[in-house]
Amino acid sequence: MQAAIAADAGGRQAFEAMVAFRAEILALILFAWLLGMLTNGLADVLPARRALLHRPRSAWIAWIRFGQRPRVRELALEVGVPLLWALALGRFGLSPRGILCALYLTILALVVVTDLERRLIYDAVMLPAIALAALAAPVSPWLEGGAVGAWGMGVGAFIFFFGLAVVTRGGIGGGDATLAAFIGLIAGFPRGLQALSWGALLAGVFALGLLLSRRGTWNTLIPYGPFLALGGALALLG
């Protein structure tokens, strides 16, 4: 009898835990969906240097319900941001590392959009992101090299890429330098070196492809931000 009661109590506890876990997952999916809409809104207002005063809208709902065909980017971000959160939380669980990783990936997604659309990486995005990563480093024990290594990696990456921006005179921009600093902070040392190396390699392969296909020349400028961001994302999820 007692064994049956204990088994019943254990079953109820397991069921309640499962329900609570599913509620947390649903809440996170909803939050990530809203964050995708917010990211779309920021991508729209940043070029005009305006504040996001209106409520973010769903591109998918506007299309399905009202027939308002949105841009591909709006649809992709609204789906992509929740997928990035799923990747981060699936990799690291519902933990501080998982949540920080998801936030960092969302910032990188916004950088990719603005660099592809406007060839700009905005200080209004990167400076708060750098501040967040710098403050989070001491409480991120998973960073190789610890907080000091992450801070050093961030500063070193900024100096190196800022120097490249000066030398190339437009080939690499100041926004790429702040993005490199952010990637150095979130990846730490030496993983930050790997992330930036991957980004540079991917950019080089893309540039070579343009040359071989005769779609570009040695003077063709390409946005480096998406490639650096991809390298950073690989380092985060690695």
Please tell me the predicted confidence (pLDDT) of residue 189: 95
Give mean pLDDT, residues 88-98. 92
Paired tokens of 37: 């809409």
In order of 163, 164, 174, the CA distances from 167 in angstroms are: 6, 5, 12
Question: Length of the chain, please?
Answer: 238
Each residue of 115-142: pLDDT tens digit? 999 999 999 999 999 999 999 999 999 9
Question: Could you report the per-residue pLDDT of 190-205, keeping only the tens digit for each?
Answer: 999 999 999 999 988 9
Highest mean pLDDT, choosing among 15-24, 56-65, 190-199: 190-199
What six digits make up the tokens of 214?
């005769």
Answer with the residue of higher pLDDT: 29 or 15.
Answer: 29
| 156-213 pLDDT per residue, tens | 999 999 999 888 877 788 999 999 999 999 999 999 999 999 999 998 898 888 888 8
Out of 25-34, 104-113, 176-185, pick the least confident.
25-34
If you average pLDDT over every residue of the chain, what do you get? Answer: 86
Contact 182, 174 (CB under 8 A): no
pLDDT at 94 over 90: no
- Numbers of helices and strands, H then E, in the chain: 9, 0
Candidate from 18-22, 69-73, 78-82 with smallest mean pLDDT: 18-22
Could you tell me if 197 and 232 are in contact, meaning their C-beta atoms sit under 8 angstroms apart? Answer: no
Confidence of residue 111 (pLDDT cuts 50, 70, 90): very high
Does residue 135 come out as left (phi exceeding 0), alpha (psi in the -120 to 50 range) or beta? Answer: alpha
Q: Which two tokens stand for residue 105?
A: 């990936």
d(CA 40, CA 29) in angstroms, rounded, equals 17
pLDDT at residue 143 tops 90? yes
CB 108 within 8 A of CB 77: no
Give the pair of three-digit tokens for residue 152. Answer: 């050093």
Residue 52 has a pLDDT of 63
Q: Would you state the pLDDT for residue 158?
A: 97
- Contact residues for 198 (Cβ-Cβ < 8 A; gap 6+): 230, 231, 234, 235
- CA–CA distance, 61 with 64 (Å, rounded to integer): 5
Is residue 19 scored above 80 in pLDDT? no
Please state, in angstroms and rounded to a whole number, the distance separating the CA atoms of residues 229 and 68.
31
Q: Give the mean pLDDT of 72-84.
A: 92
Q: How far is CA 209 from CA 173, 213, 219, 229, in A?
A: 22, 6, 14, 19
**CB-CB contact of 81 with 29 (8 Å):** no
